[in-house]
């Protein structure tokens, strides 16, 4: 039988004559007053006084609450319906944006407006004859200028000219970047990338020429063991030889120069996080990247290098946004 959930209530015991025997509290004897039928007037007076005090206390508390409500109501009325800060829930202040909604989210340009804005900029860029003429047209001129002066000896540029703009209507946009295929006067198709920045549309010169930290011929001849940044076309390949013969340790890639003149093999440890950054999706045969490349110590071949880092997907160094 399960135990009771509540303790049993004590019952009064019955005497042999059927009279009720009163239960006594533990440790306390009954007085004659308790057995007397005469009312205890003194006790009643004490109880009444206690009741009066309690009633008075409740009345005072109630009056105080009512007075407080009246005061708050008057303050709210005087403040135009707004409760004071002490009577309202305080919320942390939200920083105000320094940009208007239109500035924070500029409207997207139409295809026609992009063509109208990009085409004259492309023509000026391809017709420039000096570094000075080209600098105002390029992104980050303070970074591009020393590179351009190294790339164009004496600051002289042989202009390519513009024959066709936006071949095949293939203009593409990604975040701040606008990619356009052009044809120069030598009928060569090339890609121009415009970056929409604080100064308006500017051309990314480094991606146009395939800029790298050092010329490919010098890199292959000198075999530096300190990583240099190179714009390359990456493709997976199975080539394991010499210092990189262990295909369980290494993953190999074909690395092609932007002008497609040079092809070398790059290696990265197969199970490294870097390999997962460089690795292409199965449905992608090749992709442009900026990689940090270096030769191993004591390199015995001129076409096998270590992939030291992945700097960017594509040939634009900065994050272009979604």
251 and 301 housed in the same domain: yes
The Cα–Cα gap between 150 and 168 comes to 34
Average pLDDT of the residues in 231-235: 98
Specify if 200 maps to a domain.
Answer: yes
| Highest mean pLDDT: which range of 13-27, 33-47, 272-286 | 272-286
Specify if 134 maps to a domain.
Answer: yes
Find out whether 218 and 262 touch, Cβ atoms under 8 Å.
no
Domain that holds residue 271: 216-313
Mean pLDDT of the chain: 78
pLDDT at 87 over 60: no
pLDDT tens per residue across span 151-160? 999 999 999 9
Does the global pTM surpass 0.75?
Answer: no
The Cα–Cα gap between 264 and 299 comes to 14
Give the helix ranges, DSSP H, for the chain.
Answer: 32-35, 41-78, 101-104, 111-127, 131-134, 141-151, 205-209, 216-222, 273-278
Question: How many domains, the chain?
Answer: 2
The Cα–Cα gap between 254 and 268 comes to 12
Find out whether 188 and 167 touch, Cβ atoms under 8 Å.
no
Question: Tokens standing for 240?
Answer: 């394991």
Specify if 146 maps to a domain.
Answer: yes
Specify if 39 maps to a domain.
Answer: no
pLDDT of amino acid 52: 56
Average pLDDT of the residues in 223-252: 97
Find out whether 196 and 188 touch, Cβ atoms under 8 Å.
no
Specify if 157 maps to a domain.
Answer: yes
């Amino acid at each position: 039988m399960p135990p009771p959930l509540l303790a049993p209530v004590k019952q009064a015991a019955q005497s042999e004559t059927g009279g009720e025997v009163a239960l006594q509290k533990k440790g306390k004897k009954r007085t004659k007053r308790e057995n007397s039928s005469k009312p205890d007037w003194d006790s009643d007076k004490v109880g009444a006084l206690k009741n009066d005090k309690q009633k008075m206390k409740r009345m005072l508390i109630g009056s105080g609450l009512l007075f407080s409500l009246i005061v708050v109501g008057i303050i709210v009325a005087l403040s135009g319906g707004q409760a004071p800060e002490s009577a309202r829930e305080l919320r942390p202040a939200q920083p105000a944006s320094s940009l208007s909604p239109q500035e924070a989210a500029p409207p997207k340009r139409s295809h026609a407006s992009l063509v109208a804005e990009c085409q004259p900029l492309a023509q000026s860029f391809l017709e420039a004859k000096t570094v000075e003429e080209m600098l105002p047209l390029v992104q980050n001129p303070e970074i591009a200028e020393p590179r351009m002066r190294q790339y164009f000896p004496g600051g002289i540029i042989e202009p390519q000219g513009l024959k066709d703009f936006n071949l095949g209507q293939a203009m593409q946009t990604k975040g701040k970047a606008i990619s356009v295929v052009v044809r120069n006067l030598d009928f060569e198709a090339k890609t121009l990338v415009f970056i929409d920045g604080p100064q308006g549309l500017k051309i990314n010169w480094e991606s146009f020429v395939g800029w790298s930290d050092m010329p490919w011929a010098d890199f292959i001849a000198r075999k530096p063991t300190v990583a240099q940044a190179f714009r390359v076309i990456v493709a997976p390949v199975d080539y394991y030889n010499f210092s990189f013969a262990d295909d369980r340790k290494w993953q190999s890639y074909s690395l092609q120069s932007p002008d497609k003149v040079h092809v070398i093999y790059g290696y990265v440890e197969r199970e490294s996080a870097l390999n997962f950054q460089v690795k292409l999706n199965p449905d992608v045969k090749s992709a442009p990247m900026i990689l940090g490349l270096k030769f191993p110590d004591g390199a015995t071949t001129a076409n096998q290098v270590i992939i030291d880092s992945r700097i960017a997907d594509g040939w634009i160094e900065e994050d272009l946004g979604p």
